[in-house]
Structure 1
Amino acid sequence: MNKYILTLFFVLATTVASFAQANISPAKAQTKKIVIFGATVHVGNGQVIDNGYIIFEKGKITGVGDATVVKLNMTDAEMITANGKHVYPGFISPITNLGLAEFESVKATLDFQEIGNMNPHIRSIVAYNTDSKVPPTLRSNGILMAQITPQGGTIAGSSSVVQLDAWNWEDAALKIDDAQHVNWPVTPRFRGGFGGARPGFSADALAERTQKAVSDLDEIFAQAKAYAEGEKPTTSNARLAAMENLFNGKEKLFITADSQKDIVAAVNFAKKYGITPVIVGGDEAYLIIDFLKENNISVVVKQPHALPNNVDDDVNMPYKNAAALANAGITVVVSIDGYWQQRNLPFMAGTVATWGLGKEKALQTITLNTAKVLGIDKTAGSIEIGKDATLFISAGDALDMKTNKVEQAFIQGRSINLDNLHKQLDKKFSDKYRIK
């Protein structure tokens, strides 16, 4: 019996060791001044420097400008020549369960949703797994930060913003509990006739259920506001206490809503409690641009690579939505569903660039605009003096999947390892079949 136990232990230990070999240790802190020169610098605020330089030390950017009109002191710095290449601020992935899920078919690795409908006390940051194999695949496409977001229910909980090269969630955190996330109650579409009816539910019954959900949401917000403004009770209420920062402006409110009717209802609901929300999804936001501008609403456009929701919509509307909003003066952020899929975020921005937005404005939808909406724009989102040196060098256009080739990346000045599980598998099987 002991023989079998010992054998099993050896097999498990070997498996764990081999799995761990794919782990990549976080980079060490920057110790020497670094200068990147000769590259096309995409600042992230719309500005482009054709032959630029960037200086950073101790994790902060200390110089940015035109390399042709300045003399650089190279004696005490590590020089990186990047002629013909491009430098971008680190891309930021919003609204993702990255680090909260690993294998979709293994329930034990899924930790992005809790039981219950009203969960404002749920904090995604404490469940964030820095040992996940997924973040390194994102870094290889220039995504260096993410908003880790819970899902499910009417109130899903609070998200946090992290950088994607860390030992643990404490090291990763850039902004803890940046926003509460609400899924606006939506009446399921009732389709009568052959193949479209919902057995046991009439259109009125479905509408009544939705109204009940809205009433429940209104009730918990009213209680939370009273809780925040009143004297603190002897026994605290975790759910209500978790919503306190919504009312003092320290935490934002993200509401997922797609139809114009739901967007208007969600915005008016938030205004009732003195909150300016961020709309997530916004499939029909382009139909109510004036309303959004009047209420200073930012929109996180989800999944530009998608089909329209309505059969009579322009088939290309998901591609055009971001441009329609941004060109009207609305702050727009681009996102993509899932966690493995996050590596394609730059190409979502590339798509909206093609459909009416332009490259530099499209770049802002995954850099500076995202940083502003998440409340980290003082330290991230653009290549400017005083901000974190979170940036990367690409051989080509980083918004184009054909030319995106990240050669070197830095997070807070640390030169990070760009190896990942996908690259390892590619090399393994390329070697097997001698693919060059």
Structure 2
Amino acid sequence: MKKLLFPIALLFSVKALAQENMHPAPAQTRTIALTNGVIHIGNGQVIENGMIVFSNGKITDVRTTAPIADIQIIDLKGKHVYPGIIASSTNLGLVEVSAVRSTADYDELGDINPSIRSLVAYNADSKVINTLRSNGVLLANIVPQGGTISGTSSVVQLDAWNWEDAAYKTDNGIHFNMPSLINVPAQFRRPGAEEDRVKQSLEKIESIRAFLREAKAYHGETNHAQVNLKLEALQGLFNKTKIFFVHCDLVKEMMMAIEMAREFDFKLVLVGAGDSWLMTDMLKQNKVAVILSQPHSLPTTDDDDVDQPYKTGAALQKAGILFTICQDGGDGFWRQRNLPFQAGTMAAYGLTKEEALSAITLNAAKILGIDN
């Protein structure tokens, strides 16, 4: 029995060391000023030797350094201060280990699920969250996946005990995965696959249109014999309290998304949008914002320049289109920590450093409706 005591004690000590989750910060009790820092506002403005004052967990003033009475002073000694980075489209907190199915909770059975809420599945205890926070990512838009209409996303802050504490902007948008409008050559089709995939996709899109028309008629009624949860979830699209996020890449897919948004008068944001640099005039005319896929990726088509993903941000910036970037895909939870490096690449391909910073801070806030 005595021989077992040391291994058991060692086991418990290792387990104790494994609890690496950082607890949420305690409430602020005293006003604090950070002085003598180089402050990057996030809107293109930089303040040398500036001061940031915050109280009760909120920034109350940003200015050039000046003496303030009865305040705790922290001297930054020339260090640079940046706004918190925003992950604009991620499944963070919905999956822990992508190869372990039991840790994944980002999609639901069925094809049309607008009533599914990603927020209630968000795991504030995820070990991945701290790897993002340590690299400056402080807010994230948690997006469901799967099906044609995946459900609603919510913005969370990454310093929380549970999903209720984390909720920053609840149910801010509905996510629609545009069916692919590119055909597969016969030699590359799976055995037994339908010949015309574009035709299938158009039929699928038309069925979604019919569903949205039904929802519009439903919300036009004052009384309902039965409550339809799926149709109820779409109400925010019609009164513009929710954003219509459409995930697509090709020009004809984005044109289809714009046409749908026009028909129903939705507030549209394109996600992915690899070919958006080819249709900047249409995007600007229709006031469409863009969440670009990660710049560190291959071009959308074989005919594009190999460095086109690096240059797309500068093309949208020049055209006056509001855009941000995201780390999408199945590993889009832990890769969000690379956002500063992705912005750095865009700064090397046409954006200024401050424009690249704005893209992952202020621009993302505007697109998600949290800029105030």
Both proteins in one fold, TM over 0.5: yes
Q: CA deviation at 1:309?
A: 2.3
- Superposition map of 1:32-181 within 5 A: 32-67=30-65, 71-73=66-68, 75-181=69-175
- Tell me the distance in 2 between the aligned counterparts of 1:113 and 1:142: 27
Instruction: Check the 8 A contact 1:190/1:202 in 2, yes or no.
Output: no
- Tell me the distance in 2 between the aligned counterparts of 1:128 and 1:202: 38
What residue in structure 1 maps to residue 254 of structure 2?
263
Provide closer, same or farther for how the CA distance between residues 14 and 189 of structure 1 changes in structure 2, counting only shifts above 3 A.
Answer: farther
Residues 102-131 of structure 1 show CA distances to partners (whole Å, capped at 9, x for unaligned) of 011211110001111101000000000000
Match of 1:326 among 317, 320, 335: 317
What residue in structure 2 maps to residue 252 of structure 1?
243
Instruction: Return the structure number with greater relative CO, CA threshold 8 A, min gap 6.
Output: 1
Instruction: Check the 8 A contact 1:118/1:153 in 2, yes or no.
Output: yes
Residues 344-402 of structure 1 show CA distances to partners (whole Å, capped at 9, x for unaligned) of 11111111111101111111111111101111100xxxxxxxxxxxxxxxxxxxxxxxx
Give the residue type in structure 2 aligned to 1:310.
T
Instruction: Check the 8 A contact 1:276/1:295 in 2, yes or no.
Output: no
Instruction: Judge which range, 77-86 or 143-152, deviates more.
Output: 77-86
Q: CA deviation at 1:16?
A: 10
- Tell me the distance in 2 between the aligned counterparts of 1:134 and 1:287: 36
| 1:283 and 2:278 aligned | no
| 1:365 and 2:359 aligned | yes
- Tell me the distance in 1 between the aligned counterparts of 2:363 and 2:251: 23
- Structure 1: runs of 5+ lacking an equivalent: 1-6, 379-436
| 1:273 and 2:244 aligned | no
| 1:341 and 2:335 aligned | yes
Instruction: Judge which range, 15-24 or 358-367, deviates more.
Output: 15-24
Give the residue type in structure 2 aligned to 1:72.
P
What residue in structure 2 maps to residue 390 of structure 1?
none
Superposition TM-score, scaled by structure 1 size: 0.80
Give the residue type in structure 1 aligned to 2:20.
A
Question: Alignment partner of 1:121: what SS?
Answer: coil
- Tell me the distance in 1 between the aligned counterparts of 2:28 and 2:268: 38
Give the residue type in structure 1 aligned to 2:233.
A
Instruction: Check the 8 A contact 1:187/1:207 in 2, yes or no.
Output: yes
Q: CA deviation at 1:314?
A: 0.3
What residue in structure 1 maps to residue 226 of structure 2?
235
- Tell me the distance in 2 between the aligned counterparts of 1:215 and 1:15: 60
Question: Alignment partner of 1:327: what SS?
Answer: helix
Instruction: Check the 8 A contact 2:244/2:269 in 1, yes or no.
Output: yes
Instruction: Check the 8 A contact 1:40/1:85 in 2, yes or no.
Output: yes
Residues 200-232 of structure 1 show CA distances to partners (whole Å, capped at 9, x for unaligned) of 33543x222112211111111111111122123
Provide closer, same or farther for how the CA distance between residues 293 and 210 of structure 1 changes in structure 2, counting only shifts above 3 A.
Answer: same
- Structure 2: runs of 5+ lacking an equivalent: none
Question: Alignment partner of 1:159: what SS?
Answer: strand
Instruction: Check the 8 A contact 1:327/1:357 in 2, yes or no.
Output: no
Q: CA deviation at 1:197?
A: 3.6
Q: CA deviation at 1:65?
A: 1.0
Match of 2:297 among 301, 306, 309: 306
- Tell me the distance in 2 between the aligned counterparts of 1:139 and 1:20: 18
Provide closer, same or farther for how the CA distance between residues 15 and 259 of structure 1 changes in structure 2, counting only shifts above 3 A.
Answer: farther
- Tell me the distance in 2 between the aligned counterparts of 1:130 and 1:93: 15
Provide closer, same or farther for how the CA distance between residues 14 and 234 of structure 1 changes in structure 2, counting only shifts above 3 A.
Answer: farther
Root mean square deviation of aligned Cα: 1.9
Question: Alignment partner of 1:357: what SS?
Answer: coil
Instruction: Check the 8 A contact 2:135/2:337 in 1, yes or no.
Output: yes
What residue in structure 1 maps to residue 287 of structure 2?
296
Q: Report percent identity of matched pairs.
A: 47
Instruction: Check the 8 A contact 1:117/1:156 in 2, yes or no.
Output: yes
Instruction: Judge which range, 123-132 or 220-229, deviates more.
Output: 220-229
Give the residue type in structure 2 aligned to 1:199.
P
Superposition TM-score, scaled by structure 2 size: 0.93
Instruction: Check the 8 A contact 2:117/2:152 in 1, yes or no.
Output: yes
Q: Which runs of 4+ in 1 moved over 3 A?
A: 13-20
| 1:218 and 2:209 aligned | yes
- Tell me the distance in 1 between the aligned counterparts of 2:38 and 2:270: 34
What residue in structure 2 maps to residue 376 of structure 1?
370
Match of 1:21 among 19, 22, 35: 19
| 1:199 and 2:197 aligned | no
Q: CA deviation at 1:199?
A: 2.6
Provide closer, same or farther for how the CA distance between residues 254 and 26 of structure 1 changes in structure 2, counting only shifts above 3 A.
Answer: same
